[in-house]
Structure 1
């Protein structure tokens, strides 16, 4: 049955009251503790992980294994299952999510079956198949078609049926829901863009019906660029990953955009939803892979010694929003890759920042806001955040 999306913050407020109790009693949720910073992991590697890497990964209560896992050794599905099973052998309590894009075919083991569906890929009026970008050449599948929806669900079912997979990470929701990405940027026209939005709601309803009871459904969905910052779609998800959190669009100032995003995160977290707050440590790039500011776009970190100010700022944003089932990952990209000298290109990989070892303790209450300034008290940390000046202070006790 197709679910109705929630159209306003006021309606969402009633929804969250109901779901907070459900989240608290659900054993499908990850382990959580306020003892130190609660952390999330989002990662891919073209090959298998080493023993040391697996031991590192097994420390995280919530892990998403990304879309390129194991591609040099076989299919993404096989690579994901191999990594998940090995992590579970070390820590059976880690919750591991299988990455599935809602509309992009990232050349996985399911691509051959998709190619056999008549008109399964989106195609422009001139016969061209739009692609994500010229580097990847990844095409889009048509979720307005029932056969494509069943193809998507079949692959998801095969993966979550494995004991090592605890749910789904659903990406690219925004590319469908803002409409003009497909209508104009990909030149498919408004009628097709509208059909994709309708197909999206049908598919998310089926995902919830088939998998929601026993599996975590995490979406890349909270974005201040939505009318209600993505809260209007949260009924489909157990929580949200964060991307493009600081990239203001639509004429709104960056401080106001950040306030809107933070307050949406607070509402979702207070409802018992999972927050997987990720943000890049490097400098922001002017243009991302979508060309219209839909994807995270940051430079690689030159030196881990020069990121403390940025790290404190991101940590403060997270702590202002965080409740039970909130997790944090400041990153330098998600890939585990080396250069031709064997040097790791991901500066944050296999690294536990010193502040993550500090005692944190439970919050003493929600954050307080005065204009663009947020403050919050934890048992062992005082948080100050000014999103207008970009200033943050963490005072550890």
Structure 2
């Protein structure tokens, strides 16, 4: 135990040195790589996948967003995810060249994204338990994990990302599952790999992110699923690696912390990141929270599907108020019923928010008159055309549009 603690302290010391290096070198970046931004109305984000190609109407809808992540299953029924992503991205760019489009790449999970054959050729490329078995993401998935503690695997990761980022239609990379690596117990205990391997993965993570920054950061957006109140410093301790953060499981409190305190910690982390000039892609589900998520330990977003949009206004107002309490320039909002564009057997769209624009998104917003004010669990903030009241203890909010 003592040796493990010493090793973890060394990893944290290395992270501090890396952060200083990134701050001094990488942050001499090209501001043009950031998305367009306006306070005129609610600034919006899109995070989506469709296993087939988008229709012309769908491309027209997507082209309205300044920032888009094309998720891990994009176009896979018509080829590889890489091919599907590029086909969609190029079509969007034809309508809106200013839209910034991100390629999804998981930091540790092999979602069979079209480059797995290269990974399979790497000896020991997949994580393997001491009993010889290969851990998988969950019982319903056969997706295995790749071993980023190995230098050859890290080189493979960067090579694949580079093959996409060299295309003019791709403006950056969305990096997922950071939390699974950084919460060492997920692999150490949950996947039965042991503490030593979990620590090696954390060390490999920092080496990989350093390589990603050195290779891509100057000209590409590096966005991550990273801000989370479960971290000691809510994920801010890792933000030097990234241009911004997406949000997931924002309200799922862990570690004995009350839900209101957990949400407050997340809001304050979002405020700090936004005030530091980071991109916020605040994504939150409109459906009812589920008791258990796919990770089994609350690492992923877990919400039920909506039957309709008839009774979502209270939830939508609450999420908009959370977002507006944090938002600064380069903050974007996405309330969702899921990321997939899928239909049922009758051809009806399962995703109730797809191709839907909530009326409030057309309201004039205007620039904030200052940062949000906090009184216990209550936040208030004034915008030019909107007054925001947020109570995270009662989960109530009021938006007064002028």
Tell me, yes or no, whether TM beats 0.5.
Answer: yes
Distance in 1 between residues matched to 2:85 and 2:53, nearest whole Å: 9
Q: What do residues 76-109 of structure 1 show as CA deviations (whole Å, max 9, x unaligned)?
A: 0000000000000010000000000000000011
Q: Pairwise mapping of residues 178-193 of structure 1 onto structure 2 (< 5 A)?
A: 178-193=183-198
Matches within 5 A, 1:34-49: 34-49=39-54
1:5 counterpart (10, 15, 18) = 15
TM-score, normalising length: structure 2: 0.94
Query: For structure 2, which runs of at least 5 residues remain unmatched after alignment?
Result: 1-10
8 Å CA contact retained: 2:284, 2:319: yes
Spell out the pairing of 1:1-397 with structure 2 (5 A cutoff): 4-6=14-16, 26-397=31-402
CA distance in 2, matches of 1:209, 1:302: 46
Structure 2 vs 1, CA of residues 249 and 15 (structure 1 numbering), >3 Å: closer, same or farther? farther
Q: What is the TM-score when the length of structure 1 is the normalising length?
A: 0.96
Q: Are the equivalent residues in 2 in contact too, given 1:281–1:330 (CA < 8 A)?
A: yes
Report the CA distance shift for 1:144/1:212 in structure 2 as closer, same or farther (over 3 A): same
Q: Would the alpha carbon gap of residues 340 and 241 (structure 1) be closer, same or farther in structure 2, given more than 3 Å must change?
A: same
Is the Cα contact below 8 Å between 1:316 and 1:394 reproduced in 2?
Answer: yes
SS in 2 for 1:313: helix
Aligned residue pairs: how many? Answer: 390
Q: Report the alpha carbon displacement of residue 6 of structure 1 after superposing the two structures with TM.
A: 4.5
Deviations 1:155-208 (A, max 9, x none): 000000000000000000000001000000000000000000000000000000
Deviations 1:275-294 (A, max 9, x none): 00000000000000000000
- Counterparts of 2:353 and 2:208 in 1: how far apart (Å)? 35
> Is the 1:17–1:271 Cα contact (8 Å) retained in structure 2?
no
Shift of 1:135: 1.6
Stretches of 4+ moved more than 4 A in 1? 14-19
What secondary structure does 2:146 align onto?
Answer: coil
SS of residue in 1 equivalent to 2:31: coil
Cα offset, 1:4, TM superposition: 4.1
Indicate the RMSD between aligned Cα atoms, in angstroms: 1.9
What's the counterpart of residue 4 of structure 2?
Answer: none
User: For residues 250 and 18 of structure 1, what CA distance do their matches in structure 2 show?
Assistant: 35
- Alpha-carbon distance in 1 for matches of 2:28, 2:350: 41
Shift of 1:302: 1.1
Q: Closer, same or farther in 2 for the Cα pair 1:354/1:16, shift >3 Å?
A: farther
Provide the C-alpha distance between the structure 1 equivalents of 2:270 and 2:364, rounded to a whole number of angstroms.
23
Shift of 1:5: 2.7
What CA deviation, in whole Å up to 9, does each residue of 1:23-54 have, x standing for no partner? Answer: 7x610000000000000000000000000000
Q: Distance in 1 between matches of 2:114 and 2:184?
A: 28
